[in-house]
Structure 1
């Protein structure tokens, strides 16, 4: 019997719940492996070979290779784990978040300093 998820209809939002956690388990385990310097070096040396050591779906691997963090989240990734990919690439969390909204780092920062996005934001607004 499926669980009632009253939070499932929030536009533009993926809730990391138990279902997402199960879906993204190996993706998130891969991300956590990047906490060790030797694993970051192995990943940077041959990303595909390193990813192939993990029982992730091909869609998950392709999303990582493309650094499509929105797709990673849709495939069960948790942003706090995915941040390890950004750190491996030398990117700040702010740079990552900006890329996920299609905004520059500066435009994203300015939006957040200004109080964040509107509750009615659709992602189709003009992006600086």
Structure 2
């Protein structure tokens, strides 16, 4: 009989993978209001209110100051760290007129063209840093 594994310790292991954010229950709780805000942009009247005054619209939601700042800066990497779900956040960049490709390329540190070429070629190479703590 095996010893039960601590699910939190198991999920924490994923934080060691560079550039990876697993959307766990903890992140879902942290980003609940952030993701609800993003989903609100599915409605045309909400998009119009958002475009008219982004800060005022954000202030209607129970977001942390850090989440609000990251939304206003369109810092999608930070938003993922703060509990954002990329599929919900897509409502923000879609409202800005950006494609999924355009938005996620901003998280890669690459130009749009280089990112697109990499993805067409099959994605990131499995070679390189695979662990933050072991730098391998």
Length-normalised TM-score, structure 2 = 0.84
Give the deviation of 1:20 after TM superposition.
Answer: 0.3
Q: Is the partner of 1:7 in helix, strand or coil?
A: helix
Q: Who is 1:3 aligned against?
A: 8
Which residue matches 1:39? 46
TM-score (norm 1): 0.89
Query: What do you get for the CA RMSD once the two structures are aligned?
Result: 1.5
With CA pairs under 8 Å and 6+ residues apart, which has the higher RCO, 1 or 2?
2
In structure 2, runs of 5+ residues without a counterpart are 1-5, 130-136
Q: 1:76 aligns with which of 68, 71, 83?
A: 83
Residue 118 of structure 2, aligned match among 82, 106, 111: 111
Count of residue pairs the alignment pairs up: 122
Consecutive unaligned residues of structure 1, counting only runs of 5 or more, are: 123-128
CA apart distance, 1:94: 0.3
Who is 1:62 aligned against?
69
